Structure 1
Amino acid sequence: MNLEVPKKFRPLVNQARQVAENVFRPISRKYDRAEHAYPVELDMLAAIMDGMNDGTLGEGAGAGKLKQDKKKADGIVNSTNMTTVLGLQELCWGDVGLSLTLPRQGLGNAAIAAVANDEQLARFGNKWAAMAITEPGCGSDSAAIRTTAVKDGDEYVLNGEKIYVTSGERAEAVVVWASLDRNIGRAAIKSFVVEKGTPGMEVVRLEKKLGIKASDTAAITFTDCRVPAANLLGSPEINVDQGFAGVMQTFDNTRPVVAAMAVGLAKAALDRSRELLKEYGISARYRTSIKNSSQIEAQLYRYEADWEAARLLTLKAAWMADNGMPNSKEASMSKAKAGRSANAITLGCVELLGSLGYSEDELLEKWARDSKILDIFEGTQQIQQLIIARRLLGKSSAELR
């Protein structure tokens, strides 16, 4: 097994690290304190990233370039999914909230890239798209969505409310999950692209959050909001046999992306903790067995092993997507492991550093707060474990709840 970063991706990874270190880190605390303030420093950076993406053969740096081929590739391929997780891992080493705030790099863009047809890609490919799934009465169970979409001629009429929409106020469009017929259940769930300014769509509030404060998180209502039928992503037909699979394919792309964010954040906490501990005469001695190490050293070894497992699961899920392999189980495994590990590692590093880790003198306390969302959005820890169990046991969602 060759686990090195492919040579063709190294310039992109290095560029992402430079952005994280020289752009994100210096303004990280500023926008953590100024929640809902737009990071204007990112506008020029977004234009540079667009150029980086457009200058490649689809192997861009952002989530917006994700695409999962349905046919198995000839030979081994390292492509868009791999570059996305490698790039975002580095960016989130700098700051997760700022990474989520980069224009045209949103999870809605990943949803569009995953299932849009060529005409839709031409219309929406260059727009910054958020993703709206969660509702007041519908969290982890996406099939319980109550927002409706009723066909009326060449349009769909949307009614409902979405909460916790990342970049919901700043994005140019929102990918909205809605039901064509709530009596049918999950098979009737479809996704629609609703452009900003569409009558009937209103951002009603911005949420105050524990972490990722640089990223705006909005609540949006849809009241008789008319959307062109051509904005429905995927097939408009309700296929009971296929069920929820068409819409859920989006998650097979985006869960490894969130896992990569967690891997990058955990790496930041580990790197900074090692630097600070070294100043106090504590450094890892990898030739010494864990039994003969100090408690702090032993705990760092455990965290590093946990981080490495999360990183490898994330790379595997992305690699499978690039090579046309079904990766639903592996996507959930990477998301579950990385989300849980990032939360444990960042909180553990705060504990190891004591007052230094808990104060605002260091970013460690911020990273601990930021890490929690990575274990929640795109499916909680419990939902990921349920999906993994279904895949391992060959059970349907009706058979194993």
Structure 2
Amino acid sequence: MNLDIPKKFSGLVSQAHQVAERYYRPISRKYDKAEHSYPRELDLLAGLLDGMNASSPEAVGATSASKRSVDSQDHANQNGGNMAALLGIMELCWGDVGLLLAMPRQGLGNAAIAAVANPQQLERFKGVWAAMAITEPGCGSDSAAIRTTATKLGDEYVLNGEKIFVTSGERADAVVVWATLDKALGRAAIKSFVVKKGTPGMTVTRLEKKLGIKASDTASISFNDCRVPASNMLGRPEVDVEKGFAGVMETFDNTRPLVAGMAIGVAKASLDRTRQLLGKSCPLDYSAPLLSVSHAEARLYELEANWQAARLLTLKAAWMADNRIANSKEASIAKAKAGRMANEVTLTCVELVGALGYGEDELLEKWARDSKILDIFEGTQQIQLLIIARRLLGKTSSELK
């Protein structure tokens, strides 16, 4: 594995960093204080991104996170859509995680469509801003415990149930809803459906007030006899008991590295700013042994090493997805490591700079609040460790709970 960033992505990384610095940072505090207010400034940026996707054969952003990015006849080392999406997200979250999550047509629902939709669906849902609805009041990290039902009725499916913590649930054009076709068949019967905004029977019931990522709306949505065209089911309609839950879970193999990338971006922002603030009174000497420098300096070096480890693990998971190498374990490793790392880094950076880190004059306290969700959503720290253990020990979910 070559640890250098591919040269073909250098322009993407540079542009994403400029957006983060000149576009996200100046409005970051504004929308942190104005929770539930839609950042209108993002419309122009989203339009520019749409234009790039329309003029380029390779998609940019969440829609590029697909295992189809590799030509099946080409077995050479590939750096494709998953790597591009990850590198862009790392830079944008250096600017603001909440604003990235609020970006039109760049949600996790878009990544889910890119990961599992067939060619006809990819064309039909092109340009649609899609949120992702998995979590339920009685179902958190155990996605297999979903109780929202999808009943076949002619050429439609009828959805009934409730979803909570849906990122961009109110603003998005559509929601990718996970539902079960038959509870008796367990995990194998869980499928995902694209439900367009305004569909009768779909109602946004509540907007959450949150600790962080306040620029992004988080909604609760109910489905009461909500009719969806059968063609809106993502992936195959057949229930494959042999394959079980694996088909739907493939979505996470693509999206978990992206969430890890968010954690890497916000942690890098905290490290960069802390390094600047400490450097004013404490010159940093990377050549000195840890035992011979101040505690603050030594702690900063440890955090930077921890950050680098998470970054490399995440790059590996994205690279494996681009090369169609099974990466379920590596995606969970990256998500678990990066989420925990971001929490530790951002909170410790607040401590290291003292009163400066706790006040609103600096964004350090905001980054600490924003980082907490990155260890929770898209699978909590605990569920990631459980998945990793199952993969390492060769155990099924029923054998190791």
Q: Same fold by TM-score, threshold 0.5 exceeded?
A: yes
**Residue equivalent to 1:342:** 342
**TM-score, normalization by structure 2:** 0.98
**TM-score, normalization by structure 1:** 0.98
1:288 is the counterpart of 2:284: no
Superposed CA deviations along residues 253-297 of structure 1, whole A, max 9, x for unmatched, are 000000000000000000000111122x21321110111111001
Quickly say closer, same or farther: Cα 1:331–1:247, change in 2 above 3 A: same
- Deviation (angstroms), 1:341: 0.1
- Deviation (angstroms), 1:119: 1.2
Aligned equivalents of 1:168, 1:241: Cα separation in 2: 33
Gaps in structure 1 of 5+ consecutive residues: none
Quickly say closer, same or farther: Cα 1:72–1:370, change in 2 above 3 A: farther
- Deviation (angstroms), 1:73: 4.5
**Residue equivalent to 2:362:** 362
8 Å CA contact 1:20–1:94 kept in 2: the answer is yes
Amino acid at match of 2:174: A
Aligned equivalents of 1:365, 1:316: Cα separation in 2: 30
- Percent of aligned positions that are identical: 70
- Deviation (angstroms), 1:122: 1.1
Aligned equivalents of 1:251, 1:153: Cα separation in 2: 30
Quickly say closer, same or farther: Cα 1:35–1:11, change in 2 above 3 A: same
8 Å CA contact 1:86–1:260 kept in 2: the answer is yes
Alignment of 1:310-329 (within 5 A): 310-329=310-329
**Residue equivalent to 1:31:** 31
1:90 is the counterpart of 2:91: yes
- Deviation (angstroms), 1:56: 2.7
8 Å CA contact 2:85–2:258 kept in 1: the answer is yes
1:116 is the counterpart of 2:117: yes
Superposed CA deviations along residues 311-354 of structure 1, whole A, max 9, x for unmatched, are 00000000000111000000000000000000000000001111
Amino acid at match of 1:335: K
- What RMSD, in angstroms, separates the aligned Cα atoms of the two structures? 1.0
Amino acid at match of 1:278: G
1:387 is the counterpart of 2:387: yes
- Deviation (angstroms), 1:54: 2.7
8 Å CA contact 1:72–1:323 kept in 2: the answer is no
- Deviation (angstroms), 1:53: 2.4
**Residue equivalent to 1:22:** 22
Amino acid at match of 2:235: G
Count of matched residue positions in the alignment of Structure 1 and Structure 2: 399
**SS of aligned partner of 2:150:** strand
**Residue equivalent to 2:82:** 81
**Residue equivalent to 1:157:** 158
Amino acid at match of 1:83: A
Quickly say closer, same or farther: Cα 1:174–1:129, change in 2 above 3 A: same
Amino acid at match of 1:244: F
8 Å CA contact 2:64–2:84 kept in 1: the answer is no
**Residue equivalent to 2:271:** 270
**SS of aligned partner of 1:185:** helix
**SS of aligned partner of 2:372:** helix
8 Å CA contact 1:64–1:107 kept in 2: the answer is no
